[in-house]
Structure 1
């Protein structure tokens, strides 16, 4: 608030609580300077719920003590904290490679939310479809063909051999072995088969993931794929 707004606020408070009125010109000038020094960064009102007159009226209604600048500053600080706590920091639209522009946009959005000039950005709920996806991401996905580019997929293959073998089998038209449960190692659908390490007492000491599925799991996946293909064929008259 500037000095004119502080003067208007003091006049409003004086109508509600005459104890704050200063009749001496020097005292009124000192009161105006003190309030401006302490509340210069507090706005009179914002588009989203803050009004300094509401904070002053609430104090006068609920407290028997004469209002002080701190009684206005505290609600303003609480208002700022509440808005920042509800803000989810959405990704800036600036190029992430331009660190200065990216950071400046992020900080500017936070300042606008804290100052009451913009609404807090809430985290969007997970939806069942892809209707609200970014058109730029859709275009990029159509060009690449996958969420993981082929070059990145090839670079990751040595570090996830089971996934690489599964993708290779699907690409060759073979049944997806990981789509069924393994009856040998009890691996659940989607999980790779595991190799058992047997100790001298014939007990299982540990298990390690296998790059390929057990033969029985491959056979089971092939049988299920056959059954599914037969079920999709139209019945003969």
Structure 2
């Protein structure tokens, strides 16, 4: 709050509790200076639930003692702690390799949430809680078959060709070659094969990712695929 907001808050408090009114001009100026020094970082009100006048009203209504700046500062600190405890950092929109921008966006979001100018991002509320996953969410996932909408999956396909080819093969009824490890390049499950060259001395060379799996890996996937026996 700036000095004008502090003066407005004190005028509001004075209407509720005349004991806080200062009739001498010097004392009134000192009172504004004192409250501004202690509450300068506290907003008068925010879009999401904080209002210093509500905190003042609550104190005057429930306490027999004259209000002090601490009676506004304590509720404000509790308000910030509560909002941050309900906030889950969303993934920043900037390049993750730009550490400075990544950190700045995280901190900026937290400050906005703590200051009451943004809603807490409660991503955990989708799948956590004592009652278990949201039934509506589970039903929706069963309908679309994936947490990634089809339109988003199509847009991501050019950016991850290996994943797109794997999904297309599975959709056509072919076995998933990345569902088994590769005995040639030693690629584990869910990771693409790598080029593997054996030098004259017997050492393995190479390591570039391959757009398609090794033939032996595909054969192993066919062997381990469940066999559907006609009824």
- Give the TM-score normalised by structure 1: 0.65
Unaligned runs of 5+ in 1: 178-220, 232-237
Q: Give 1:171's aligned residue.
A: 218
Pick from 117, 131, 156 the counterpart of residue 138 of structure 1: 156
Q: May I ask how many residue pairs the two structures share in their alignment?
A: 176
Q: How far apart, in 1, do the equivalents of 2:222 and 2:162 lie?
A: 24
Shift of 1:25: 1.0
Select between 133-142 and 77-86 the one with higher mean Cα deviation.
Answer: 133-142
Q: Give 1:103's aligned residue.
A: 103
Shift of 1:142: 5.3
Q: How far apart, in 2, do the equivalents of 1:12 and 1:20 lie?
A: 10
Q: Give the direction of change, closer, same or farther, for the CA distance of 1:95–1:34 in structure 2 (3 Å limit).
A: same
Contact 1:169-1:176 at 8 Å conserved across structures: no
**1:28 correspondence with 2:46:** no
Helix, strand or coil for the counterpart of 1:7? helix
- State how 1:1-237 maps to structure 2 within 5 Å: 1-123=1-123, 125-126=126-127, 127=137, 128=141, 129-130=145-146, 132=148, 135=152, 138-139=156-157, 143-145=161-163, 146=166, 158=186, 160=188, 171-172=218-219, 174-176=222-224, 225=227, 228-231=228-231
Cα offsets for 1:136-167 (capped at 9, x unmatched): 773356522259xx8xx87x964859x99xx9
RMSD: 3.2
Q: Give the direction of change, closer, same or farther, for the CA distance of 1:22–1:121 in structure 2 (3 Å limit).
A: same
Unaligned runs of 5+ in 2: 128-136, 168-177, 193-213
Helix, strand or coil for the counterpart of 1:5? helix
- Give the TM-score normalised by structure 2: 0.66
Shift of 1:176: 1.6
Q: How far apart, in 2, do the equivalents of 1:157 and 1:11 lie?
A: 77
Q: How far apart, in 2, do the equivalents of 1:61 and 1:174 lie?
A: 75
Structure with the greater alpha carbon radius of gyration: 1
Helix, strand or coil for the counterpart of 1:229? coil
Select between 23-32 and 134-143 the one with higher mean Cα deviation.
Answer: 134-143
Q: How far apart, in 1, do the equivalents of 2:215 and 2:60 lie?
A: 74
Cα offsets for 1:174-214 (capped at 9, x unmatched): 3327xxxxxxxxxxxxxxxxxxxxxxxxxxxxxxxxxxxxx
Q: Give the direction of change, closer, same or farther, for the CA distance of 1:110–1:130 in structure 2 (3 Å limit).
A: same
